[in-house]
C-alpha cells in the first residue's frame, strides 16, 4: 500500500512538471505516454453518459478520452481531468482506501490546467467553490 501510494505521487509529480512545459492538454497527453505506459488518445463525443462533460476508458493498448465539444478551455479542462483519472490510477483495481476519485481528479485536473494555461484559465472554468477558495487563499500569500 505504501509503495503504491509513492508510485502514485511520483507519477502525479512528474505529470505536473511536464504540464508546465506544454501548451495544450493534447500536447500533455502525447508527452505522458511513458508515464502512463501507453498512448492516450482523445476525441470529441456528442453523446455522453449522464450529461457529463467527458469520460476516459482503458482499451487494450491505449486510453481513450472523450469530451463534449464546448469551449476551448472547457475542453482543455475536461481532457486534463480525465488524464488525471488515468495518471492517478483510477482505472486500475481500487484499493480499500476511501478516496473520492472525482474530487481527486478534479483537483489534479485544475492543477494541470493552471500549469498548462495559467490561472486565468482556471478562473474562467472553475465552478467549484472549494477550488476557488483554495485559489483565493493561495493568491493571498
Query: Which residues contribute to the site for Zn ion (CB under 5 A)?
Result: 102, 105
CA angle 41, 103, 42 (to 5 degrees): 10
Query: In the complex, which residue's CB is closest to Zn ion?
Result: 105
Closest C-alpha among 17, 126, 140 to residue 81? 126
In the bound state with Zn ion, the residue whose beta carbon lies nearer, of 11 and 85, is 85
Q: Map grid coordinates 482505472 to a residue.
A: 91
**What are the two backbone dihedrals, phi and then psi, of residue 77, each rounded to the nearest 5 degrees?**
-60, -45
Minimum CB separation of residue 102 from Zn ion in Å reads 5
Nearest distance from C-beta of residue 130 to Zn ion, angstroms: 16
For the sheet with 54-58, list strands across it: 40-44, 63-67, 54-58
84 contacts 108 by C-beta, under 8 angstroms: yes
Q: How far is the CB of 16 from Zn ion (least distance, A)?
A: 18
Which residue, 103 or 124, has its beta carbon nearer to Zn ion?
Answer: 103
**Pairing state between β 63-67 and 40-44:** parallel
Nearer Cβ to Zn ion, position 66 or 114? Answer: 66
Least separation, in Å, of the C-beta of 74 and Zn ion? 14
Pick between residue 92 and residue 102 the one whose CB is nearest to Zn ion. 102
Amino acid at each position: 500500500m505504501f509503495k503504491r501510494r509513492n508510485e502514485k505521487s511520483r507519477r502525479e509529480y512528474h505529470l505536473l512538471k511536464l504540464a508546465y512545459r506544454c501548451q495544450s492538454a493534447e500536447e500533455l497527453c502525447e508527452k505522458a505516454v511513458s508515464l502512463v505506459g501507453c498512448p492516450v488518445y482523445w476525441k470529441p463525443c456528442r453523446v455522453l453518459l449522464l450529461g457529463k462533460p467527458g469520460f476516459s476508458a482503458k482499451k487494450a493498448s491505449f486510453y481513450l478520452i472523450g469530451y463534449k465539444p464546448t469551449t476551448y478551455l472547457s475542453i482543455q479542462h475536461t481532457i486534463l481531468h480525465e488524464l488525471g483519472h488515468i495518471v492517478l490510477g483510477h482505472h486500475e483495481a481500487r484499493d480499500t482506501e476511501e478516496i473520492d476519485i472525482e474530487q481527486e481528479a478534479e483537483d489534479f485536473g485544475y492543477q494541470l490546467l493552471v500549469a498548462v494555461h495559467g490561472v486565468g484559465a482556471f478562473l474562467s472554468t472553475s465552478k467549484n467553490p472549494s477550488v476557488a477558495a483554495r485559489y483565493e487563499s493561495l493568491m493571498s500569500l
